[in-house]
């Protein structure tokens, strides 16, 4: 049976509820994460609340009556559930299509288990077809763009301000064969807050919605 991409996102969001046991849950940003919030609301009696990776997610969680905790109140999270723009068989992800990459990386850093929820269009052999988002301090925009051109990319300024008051450069035409190295290299550019490669801290579990059902990779 052929499902729409939205139906696949809904199915995988539902499957992720298996990883929600108790305590405080890390919640990502984007349309797949939004479907997850709807499912989380149905089991909110099991949890104490959530940590949000964006203001939009925080607002949506509160709208469902789920308490949102500040990251600074949290030492560790059992689970962080979020989508991705691309993911490989090595669990390396490219994220930040929704512009929340920095907060997503911060929440992911304290999570014991990162559960990535995706539809099958996101599963790729090599990262980089989706433009790589890089969050940059506004005053460093041009300088960082020049450095990204030297790395072989074509940065384009997104018409967007992040929750942290910064800008995003979307870098086109990168073929990212070694995501761990590229993640570190771009983060070394002065003025970069972070980039959308999640390779140093990959996903632990991938729930992938396919036409044949939700597949689990660990």
Catalytic annotation present for 104: yes
**Residue that has been written with the tokens 């074509």 in this structure:** 154
**How many binding residues for ligand 5RP (CB under 6 A)?**
17
Site string for ligand 5RP, 79-98 (x = CB under 6 A): ---xxxx---------xxxx
3-class secondary-structure state, position 187:
helix
Can you tell me the distance from the alpha carbon of 100 to that of 93, in angstroms, rounded to the nearest whole number? 14
Could you tell me the smallest distance in angstroms from the CB atom of residue 184 to ligand 5RP? 19
Nearer to ligand 5RP by Cβ, of 122 and 147: the residue is: 122
Closer residue to ligand 5RP in complex, CB, 138/160? 160
Q: How far is the CB of 11 from ligand 5RP (least distance, A)?
A: 13
- In our burial notation (b when 16+ CB lie closer than 10 A, e otherwise), range 153-187 reads bebeebeeebbeebbbbbbeebebeebeebbeebe
- The span from the CA of 200 to the CA of 181, in Å, is 9
Build a one-symbol-per-residue string for 43-82: x at contacts with ligand 5RP by CB under 6 A, - elsewhere: ---------------------------------------x
Could you say which residues in the range 121-150 bind ligand 5RP, by CB under 6 A?
none
* Backbone phi and psi for residue 126, each to the nearest 5 degrees, phi listed first: -135, 140
- Which position among 15, 26, 27, 29 is part of the footprint of ligand 5RP (CB under 6 A)? 29
Active-site option among 104, 120, 177, 183:
104
> Closer CB to ligand 5RP, residue 133 or residue 155?
133
Listed residue (164, 138, 133) closest to 148, CA to CA: 133
The two beta strands, 111-119 and 132-136, are: unpaired
Q: Which residues bind ligand 5RP (CB under 6 A)?
A: 28-32, 82-85, 95-101, 104
Residue positions annotated with a catalytic role? 104
């Amino acid at each position: 049976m052929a499902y729409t991409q939205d139906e696949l996102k809904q199915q995988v969001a539902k499957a992720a509820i298996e990883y929600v046991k108790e305590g405080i849950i890390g919640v990502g940003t984007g349309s797949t994460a939004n479907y997850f919030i709807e499912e989380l609301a149905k089991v909110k009696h099991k949890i104490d609340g959530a940590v949000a990776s964006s203001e939009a997610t925080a607002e949506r969680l509160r709208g469902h009556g789920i308490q949102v905790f500040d990251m600074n109140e949290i030492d560790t999270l059992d689970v962080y559930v979020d989508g991705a723009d691309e993911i490989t068989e090595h669990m390396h992800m490219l994220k930040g299509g929704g512009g929340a990459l920095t907060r997503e990386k911060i929440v992911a850093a304290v999570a014991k288990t990162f559960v990535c929820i995706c539809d099958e269009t996101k599963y790729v052999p090599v990262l980089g077809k989706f433009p790589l988002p890089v969050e940059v301090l506004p005053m460093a925009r041009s300088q960082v763009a020049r450095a990204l051109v030297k790395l072989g990319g074509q940065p384009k300024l997104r018409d967007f301000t992040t929750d942290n008051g910064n800008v995003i450069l979307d870098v086109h035409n990168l073929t990212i064969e070694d995501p761990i190295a590229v993640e570190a290299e771009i983060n070394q550019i002065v003025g970069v807050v972070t980039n959308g490669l999640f390779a140093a801290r990959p996903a632990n579990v991938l729930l992938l919605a396919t036409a044949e059902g939700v597949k689990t990779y660990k």
